[in-house]
Amino acid sequence: MSEESLLERKYFDGIYIPAGLLVFGTVIVKKEWTLYAALAALVLGVIKYFRMLPKKVLKPAVFQEFELKEKTIISHNVAIYRFKLPTPDSVLGLPIGQHISIGAAIEQPDGSTKEIVRSYTPISGDHQPGYFDLLIKSYPTGNISKHMASLQVGQTIRVKGPKGAFVYTPNMVRHFGMVAGGTGITPMLQVIRAIVRGRAAGDRTEVDLIFANVTAQDILLKEDLDALVAQDKGIRVHYVLDRPPEGWTGGVGFVTQEMVEKLLPKPASDVKILLCGPPPMISGLKKATEALGFQKARPVSKLEDQVFAF
């Protein structure tokens, strides 16, 4: 918790003012008990403080149900789903860079039912209590994504977590190079937003992101990304399209080794490359980064890896 957050109105109303009144009243009524009143105010204040902390609801090994509160259609196959947490002060308790698992019993072509589990990274964070948002693109062959697209407000999903090997901490590296394809933007956006929020506390991390899509209409959360770039000179986004419109000035085609070399930071001990997107893209980028001098990426990434694939 930052120093600024301890000055929020709720702490004055719930802790500082009651504690002050207790001590002040004791001074007036029985001055010799002031020390005891101050100790009592301190103990009660600490208890109240911990009770006021956001309640983390995620459980790594247990699925819990969360109700769909709102559904915002972005395009014919993309939507943002807002799910309600148990109380207005509840948070998921999801570390920056990690994801959740969503499970559902999906009917199969033969009529049987099979439990399907898929991973998603929320585009909201624990600084936004009371709900969490998921950006999901539905695919014709996607079990969970089709299930999500069919959800109506008031229905529930089953969630557990946190999951994942990556956890962001401020200034863990000097410079991130990121490559995202399609909905692979979600963990990158989560990290970028955390960096920007942390500037006031001394986070100096720089980011160069290559964001690859098929058409301009496929660029998810472009307004959010552009706003972050405009707000923070340490954040740069480079768009790449496979089928660009006339007059397009960004990158064209697949993300190549040449693009990585030109747009992302050079190999160094304080540089990390983050990748998230379709498996063929990730496979090609692992080879490209190794050819450029980065440490060879493992089949399953670990936090300490120089090239990390979500």
> HEC states along the chain?
CCCHHHHCHHHHHHHHHHHHHHHHHHHHHCHHHHHHHHHHHHHHHHHHHHHHCCEECCCCCCCEEEEEEEEEEEECCEEEEEEECCCCCEECCCCCCCEEEEEEEEECCCCCEEEEEEEECCCCCCCCCCEEEEEEECCCCCHHHHHHHCCCCCCEEEEEEEECCCCCCCCCCCEEEEEEEHHHHHHHHHHHHHHHHCHHHCCCCEEEEEEEECCHHHCCCHHHHHHHHHHCCCEEEEEEECCCCCCCCCEECCCCHHHHHHHCCCCCCCEEEEEECCHHHHHHHHHHHHHCCCCCCCCCCCCCCCEEEC
99 is catalytic: yes
215 is catalytic: no
Of 26, 81, 99, 239, the catalytic one is 99
147 is catalytic: no
Of 81, 120, 131, 239, the catalytic one is 120
120 is catalytic: yes
Of 26, 81, 121, 239, the catalytic one is 121
Of 81, 131, 205, 276, the catalytic one is 276
Instruction: Please identify every residue annotated as catalytic.
Output: 99, 120-121, 276
